[in-house]
């Protein structure tokens, strides 16, 4: 199954065809490539990077050593800022971005010192995610929403503008009394807080959920509530192919409240899902990297994702999502950063009023 509906994928392909291509040779023999991951170990982006890193090492010309460098802090802003100021343009510095990197840039967070316009994407990986709760609440589905509303529930978060922003908005739309605890270095740190009983509800992206949360569910230590779902360019929401048996957030909301979600908050939620999940994790290089370097990464990424056994190997770490490569990935990056001004205003007002975030 593919994540993208026809209109979005067609638009990306048209944009990709307009971009230049290069067949020049590049050799990384004897080199070490530093892959900055602006999160701590164990989160979804870290799991994603450690899945691709050894394959990039094998697929890039000269088979360089690809080292994952975790630089957590600021919900990914610290590591992304560091990459923006220190990265070389010779192909030996790459960055893994996530929604936590994109959202602050879209919303004009004053801590951001990077600009996506300065980067070129060579691989884009969509993802999904699941919201789950502590079994102590006795809630297993939408009919338990009333019970959850009667609780003050801690949620360990990287920050109000980080990866979990659409999760916070979804929980607000359901009138849950959520008490966010900000400052987590990664979603992996948030999961550990949940496991220690310091948080009553949590969220993980697909890769981290499949690797680290599914065992908790199997052992009765976590209860999945809903998957965020897949949102296409037209705003249609469908079930996540990685979690076909779980209701989407709109399905959960509708069954729990008796009415479908609507209004500004719901439109903003869909926009966040498109910007941060439908086109989420990306491998980017500095825009001024030579064409032969971009071509080498593009060819390596295509070799990886088009391998006959890729889907089988990607099952746990990546999920069954369509990977975008080269010019198509770079076009996707531009699409992900396009947010309607009215939605941006709604989001900045909500974040300011609820969490004291200033832009």
Instruction: Kindly list the strands in the beta sheet with 281-286, ordered across the sheet, starting from the edge strand earlier in the chain.
Output: 65-70, 32-37, 93-97, 281-286, 119-125, 324-325
Q: What integer pLDDT is reported at residue 5 of this predicted model? A: 45
The domain defined by 129-275 folds into D-Maltodextrin-Binding Protein; domain 2 (3.40.190)
> Could you tell me the pLDDT band of residue 208, with boundaries at 50, 70 and 90?
confident
Q: Is the pTM of this model over 0.85?
A: no
- Note the pLDDT of residue 27: 94
Handedness of CA 262, 263, 265, 269 (dihedral sign): positive
Region 53-77: what's the mean pLDDT?
95
Q: Is the fold of 6-127+279-341 the same as that of 129-275?
A: yes
pLDDT at 20 over 80: no
User: Would you say residue 22 has pLDDT above 50?
Assistant: no
pLDDT in tens, 78-91: 999 999 999 999 99
Which of 33-42, 59-68, 181-190 holds the top average pLDDT?
59-68
- How far apart are alpha carbons 177 and 180 in whole angstroms? 10
| Domain 6-127+279-341 sits in CATH 3.40.190.150 | yes
The whole-angstrom separation of Cα 142 and Cα 231 is 21
Give the percent of the chain with pLDDT over 70.
92
d(CA 355, CA 350): 8
Domain boundaries of the chain, sorted by first residue: 6-127+279-341, 129-275
What are the tens digits of pLDDT across the range 231-283? 887 889 999 988 999 999 999 999 999 999 999 999 999 999 988 887 788 99
């Amino acid at each position: 199954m593919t994540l993208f509906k026809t209109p979005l994928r067609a638009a990306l392909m048209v944009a990709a065809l307009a971009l230049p291509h290069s067949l020049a040779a590049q050799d990384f023999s004897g080199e070490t490539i530093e892959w900055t991951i602006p999160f701590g170990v164990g989160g979804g982006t870290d799991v994603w990077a450690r899945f691709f890193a050894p394959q990039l090492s094998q697929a890039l010309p000269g088979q360089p050593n690809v080292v994952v460098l975790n630089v957590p802090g600021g919900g990914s802003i610290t590591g992304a800022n560091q990459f923006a100021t220190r990265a070389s343009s010779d192909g030996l510095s790459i960055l893994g971005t996530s929604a936590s990197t994109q959202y602050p840039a879209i919303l004009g967070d004053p801590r951001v010192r990077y600009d996506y316009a300065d980067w070129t994407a060579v691989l884009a990986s969509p993802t999904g995610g699941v919201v789950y709760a502590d079994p102590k609440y006795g809630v297993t589905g939408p009919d338990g929403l009333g019970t959850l509303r009667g609780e003050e529930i801690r949620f360990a978060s990287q920050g109000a503008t980080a990866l979990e922003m659409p999760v916070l908005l979804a929980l607000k739309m359901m009138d849950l009394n959520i008490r966010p605890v900000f400052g987590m270095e990664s979603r992996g740190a948030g999961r550990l807080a949940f496991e220690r009983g310091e948080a009553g509800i949590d969220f993980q992206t697909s890769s981290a959920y499949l690797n680290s949360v599914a065992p908790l569910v199997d052992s009765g230590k976590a209860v999945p509530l809903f998957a965020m779902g897949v949102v296409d360019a037209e705003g249609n929401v469908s079930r996540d192919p990685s979690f076909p048996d779980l209701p989407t957030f709109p399905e959960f909301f509708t069954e729990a409240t008796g009415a479908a979600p609507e209004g500004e908050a719901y439109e903003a939620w869909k926009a966040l899902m498109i910007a941060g999940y439908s086109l989420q994790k990306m491998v980017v290089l500095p825009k001024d990297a030579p064409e032969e370097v971009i071509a080498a990464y593009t060819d390596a990424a295509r070799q990886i994702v088009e391998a006959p056994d890729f889907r089988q190997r990607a099952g746990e770490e990546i999920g069954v999502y369509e990977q975008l490569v080269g010019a198509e990935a770079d076009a996707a990056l531009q699409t992900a950063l396009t947010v309607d001004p009215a939605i941006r205003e709604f989001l900045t007002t909500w974040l300011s009023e609820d969490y004291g975030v200033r832009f």
